[in-house]
Chains A and B, each alone.
Chain A
Amino acid sequence: MTMEIASARTAVAKPPAPGLISRRVLGNVALGLVLLAVPFWLPLVGGYTDLASRVLIYALAAMGLNLLLGFTGGLSFGHAAYFGLGAYGVGLMLKYETHSILLALLVGTLVGGIAATLLGPIAVRRRGIYFAMITIAIGQMFYFLAVRWNSLTGGEDGLTGFSRHPIKLPGLTVPMGSVGFFYLVLVCFGACALLLWTVLNSPLGHTFVGIRENYKRLIFLGVRTKRYLAISFAISGFVVALAGGLNALLDNFTSPNTLNYTLSGDFLIIAVLGGMRNFWGPLAGAVIFILVRDYVSSITDNWMTVIGLIFVLSVLFFPLGILGFFNRKSAS
């Protein structure tokens, strides 16, 4: 009980803090500056820009998922499906239809997002554990579709034969090398963060949180809770699909693994590890998860055991996630 309370404090807007600029605004500005400067400072500490793009893409996916998971209380174990649909949408568009990666991203996001919009209402027919089982099963359907529909998707070998082209705007061509692409990812990340932030601070977002907290009370206030679960499902689906599209661009490749439930598990642990009741929790989780995985897989073949241990240990010892953990410390 105390755990939930401590964690929720960070998730909700408090009465405005005294002073001209609140600490929250300052913190967000600082975060933005750090992210903007990544291509300059990351190489100095031994990182590479593509790794930062990967972190942001996974953070974006986990943030999208977290709207449903952490703020609406819907435990989806199948969001990789929308990630993968976004990825295949982008890959197929670039391979067959267009050289514009922006158009491809738009189409990929729509494909994944619309799938989530159509399937959400089916999944929300049950709650709790069963909701999780249904979402995972729906997700696996797409996985097997991608594996079997060889002629379109390339089957288990994955989809190749597309690449990032520079973005041509009127009077301006943006090269899509590692750094250029990083800024594209950052723009997408920032726009989605702003969108999610706006939603969470609106009556719609308040309704989502109400469903997480007590759906019975909401039903007896006359709210059709399933409709709102489905809306949250859809919004999170669009965000996750965009992340998937970016991921396909980062790799110039996508495979059925981007649809598989194991990737859904990665997104979930990123949200939980960072703190799922915290707006920036998924970003913190993605930084840790991607860096650890990148490092460990370079030094041992048994990296799966290490990833498994991250799951086990964070569930046992950091149920509030890293940010939740520190928030509680500073609160007490």
Chain B
Amino acid sequence: MSFLVLDSVGRRFGALRALSDISLSVESGELRAIIGPNGAGKTTLFNLISGFFPPTEGNITFEGAPITAVNPTELVHRGIIRTFQITEIFLSLTVYENLRIAVETAMGLNLRPWISRAQRAAVAERIAELAAIVRIESKLHRVAGELSHGDQRVVEIGIVLAKSPKLLLLDEPTAGMGDEETRHMTDLIRRLNKEQHITMLFVEHDMAIVFGIADRITVLDNGKMLAEGNAAEIAANPRVQSAYLGDAGLGNAA
């Protein structure tokens, strides 16, 4: 039984078909890239898996259980967590406070109108741990809104990590980043996959990253599956090449 299975999934918005007949399966521990030209339906796919809206056709199963029409809050509890194309963090709070909300949520403390000394210490310890994993320790007491775009994305990943996801969906994690930030993010994604054993799907435009770290690659075009395979297979696939020809070639497909 595969970890995540999509069976002939499609989504319509009125007359518009955003996605149709998507069937794919992701194994536990896999690092899967989703690529495709703009408007191919990558973000729509993420929205379906994360419960942002339900598919109009087909079924999705996660760890063998159907999750087709399950709401996002419940999906989070089952271990599916996502980031967004536009970074969604708590902008006017410090990084520490950002992580604290996530950690307290993960520890199920939200309803507590007070907190014991021991719990406070446990929260602080977990925050330090997360900050170390995503390497944001030096900026813990800076206000998140004042950080660089790249650092904000890192904070967002720290936030979602607090919930110990089984399946992490990253929507364009390196978009708009400089070289150094991109390297840091790429390294982080790889470490989370290898060291924390988190299964990941990520949408990415930078082919160097995709071919560099992804175990397998799914190519979408015009709302349909175009191809699937490892880096070598995708690079050699003539249909993929022609889909990208309209853009400036493979290396610069954004």
Contact = CB atoms under 8 A, between A and B. Distances in A.
Q: Do A and B form a real pair?
A: yes
Interface of A: 1, 4-5, 7-9, 12, 14-15, 198-199, 202-207, 209-210, 213-214, 216-224, 228, 231
Nearest to A198: B114
Given A12-B93, A214-B91, A206 B100 contact: yes
A224 B105 CA distance: 11
B105 A209 contact: no
Contacts of B106: 221
Given A216-B88, A221-B163, 12 more contacts: A1-B91, A202-B114, A203-B110, A204-B110, A206-B100, A207-B105, A209-B90, A214-B89, A220-B88, A220-B160, A222-B73, A222-B76
A223 B88 CA distance: 15
B137 interface: no
B50 interface: yes
A213 B72 contact: no
B252 to A, nearest CB: 31
Contact of B110 (A14, A207, A214): A207
Main secondary structure of the interface of A (DSSP, over half): helix
Given A216-B88, A219-B72, A203 B102 contact: no
Given A5-B146, A206-B104, A210-B101, A221 B160 contact: yes
B245 interface: no
Contacts of B96: 15
B94 interface: yes
B97 interface: yes
B93 A209 contact: yes
Nearest to B97: A12
B173 to A, nearest CB: 15
A222 B108 CA distance: 10
Contact of A202 (B50, B101, B113): B113
A205 B112 CA distance: 9
Nearest to B71: A219
Contact of A203 (B76, B89, B115, B145): B115
B104 A4 contact: no
A222 B90 contact: no
Contacts, number: 102
B253 interface: no
Given A207-B110, A223-B73, A5 B104 contact: no
Contacts of A214: 88-91
A206 B123 CA distance: 13
A206 B101 contact: yes
Interface size class, chain B: 35 or more
Given A198-B113, A219-B73, A222-B76, A9 B143 contact: yes
Given A220-B81, A221-B160, A203 B104 contact: yes
A220 B93 contact: no
Interface string B89-133: 111111011001110111001111111000000000000000000
Nearest to B107: A203
Contacts of A228: 110
A263 to B, nearest CB: 28
Contacts of A8: 92-93, 143
Given A199-B113, A228-B110, A222 B163 contact: yes
A202 B143 CA distance: 20
B17 interface: no
Contacts of B239: none
Interface string B154-167: 00000110110000
Contacts of A205: 113
Tell me which of A1, A210, A224 has the highest count of chain B C-beta atoms within 10 A of its own C-beta: A210
A1 B82 CA distance: 25
A276 B111 CA distance: 23
Nearest to B108: A203
Contacts of B94: 12, 14
Nearest to A277: B92
Contact of A223 (B89, B110, B114, B143): B110
Contacts of B141: 14-15
A64 B160 CA distance: 32
B133 to A, nearest CB: 17
B77 interface: yes
A117 to B, nearest CB: 15
A217 B89 contact: yes
A198 B146 CA distance: 28
Contacts of B100: 206
A202 B50 CA distance: 29
B177 to A, nearest CB: 20
Contacts of A207: 101, 104-105, 110
Interface in B6-53: 50
Nearest to B81: A220
Contacts of A222: 73-74, 76-77, 105, 163
A204 B97 contact: no
Tell me which of B84, B101, B109, B110 has the highest count of chain A C-beta atoms within 10 A of its own C-beta: B110
A228 B96 CA distance: 22
